[in-house]
Amino acid sequence: MSHNRFGHLFTVTTFGESHGPAIGCVIDGCPPGIEITAEEIKAELERRATGKSRHTSQRREKDDVQIVSGMFEGQTTGTAIAMVIENTDARSRDYNEIKSQFRPGHADYTYFKKYGVRDYRGGGRSSARETTMRVAAGAIARKWLNQEFGISIQGWLAQLGPHRVDAVREWSTVDENPFFCPDPSMVPVLENYMDALRKSGDSVGARVNVVARNVPAGLGAPVYGKLDADLAAAMMSINAAKGVEVGAGFDSVAQMGTEHRDEMTSDGFLSNHAGGVLGGISSGQDIVVSTAFKPTSSLRLPCRGLDVDGNEVEIVTKGRHDPCVGIRATPIVEAMMALVLMDHVLRHRAQMGCEAFV
Ligand code: EPS
């Protein structure tokens, strides 16, 4: 069983818990010769990290990544890459009172039902802390995809609670505000909304979109290796993900065939309702994926719940929680897009040989 491993040829195995000594990953199948430094990986990690604004968890992790294998003189060697990050700011005492309680809406309950063991410290393995390593591995995949194919991957916040970001106004603003919002005029609205939300003690959901450009046609395979199925699985594996759409997604339900089909001309496709995937195989169009994140379930507002013995108890969660986990999800969906594409490029080459992309 390999439930902590992602991918087929470019595989990423993550390990570690939120309050354990360290988290880490092992990447197997990475091509040699990718020039990448710990600083470049750190730059990606910084985008996802907690404590970067008042709108996220105030836990302060340095996220100093140690590359302990698979790199020599600044490049990947082709052998297993191992990366480790120490946890330096875990505060397990915040969780003492819910040691034997299940937070409603949280994985506490199902982990216990499955394993019969309760690692109450910061959510243990179910913590979003694990996504750090996806971003670290994604940084390597991204770099290679860009070098080999000019593939670029860009995520953005498309909705936060009731506030929809209707249009991408300026890509450059995505990394200039704490929300990854592509519309600068929305940022003050989101700031005010989040300030009020934080004071109320409640949490809210969000939608994060991602687009991959310059993806060659041909990635993905019938019938259980569909690119869109793998993308959906990858996004759904992110903590708090509750829904994924590819292209027009659920809007397809109300569309007519004449509207949905992406007509083709010698100049290319006339629309992209398919989101860049036809029959599970990339078409060469932009790949567009949207992911819904539920509201954070760790709340200081009391609620009814159960303890491990089945007693009804009032539950109050302390600690440094994100009022909206979706705010930090943009770098994570980008990383998952990169990991899926990297794996599929290698799979396509493995089957189709050197001429795979002619
Ligand atoms: C998280 C709960 C919080 C967040 C954590 C994710 O953990 P703690 O209560 O220990 O501060 O800070 O996020 C991170 C540490 C991170 O690096 O993303 C959760 O339950 O998912």
pLDDT at 355: 83
pLDDT tens across the length of the chain (358 residues): 689 999 999 999 999 999 999 999 999 999 999 999 999 999 999 999 999 999 999 999 999 999 999 999 999 999 999 999 999 999 999 999 999 999 999 999 999 999 999 999 999 999 999 999 999 999 999 999 999 999 999 999 999 999 999 888 899 999 999 999 999 999 999 999 999 999 999 999 999 999 999 999 999 999 999 999 999 999 999 999 999 999 999 999 999 999 999 999 999 999 999 999 999 999 999 999 999 999 999 999 999 999 999 999 999 999 999 999 999 999 999 999 999 999 999 999 999 997 888 6
Number of H helices, E strands in the chain: 7, 18
Using the mean position of ligand 1's atoms as its centre, give its distance from the Cα of residue 55 in Å. Answer: 13
* Helix spans in the chain (H): 38-48, 108-115, 131-149, 187-200, 227-236, 257-260, 330-352
**65 cis-preceded (ω within 30 degrees of 0):** no
Record the tokens describing residue 19, joined without a space. 């309050």
What pLDDT, in 10s, does the model give residues 77-110? 999 999 999 999 999 999 999 999 999 999 999 9
Q: How far apart are CA 51 and CA 207, in angstroms?
A: 21
pLDDT at 357: 82
Using the mean position of ligand 1's atoms as its centre, give its distance from the Cα of residue 127 in Å. Answer: 6
Check: CATH 1.20.210.10 for 5-352?
no
Residues with CB under 6 A from ligand 1: 18, 50, 57, 59, 61, 90, 94, 122-123, 127-129, 132, 239, 298, 319-321
Question: Residues 277, 262: contact at Cβ < 8 Å?
Answer: no
pLDDT at 221: 97
Using the mean position of ligand 1's atoms as its centre, give its distance from the Cα of residue 57 in Å. Answer: 7
Closest Cα to atom 3 of ligand 1: 321
Using the mean position of ligand 1's atoms as its centre, give its distance from the Cα of residue 317 in Å. Answer: 13
Q: What's the whole-model pTM score? A: 0.98
Q: How far apart are CA 44 and CA 169, in angstroms?
A: 23
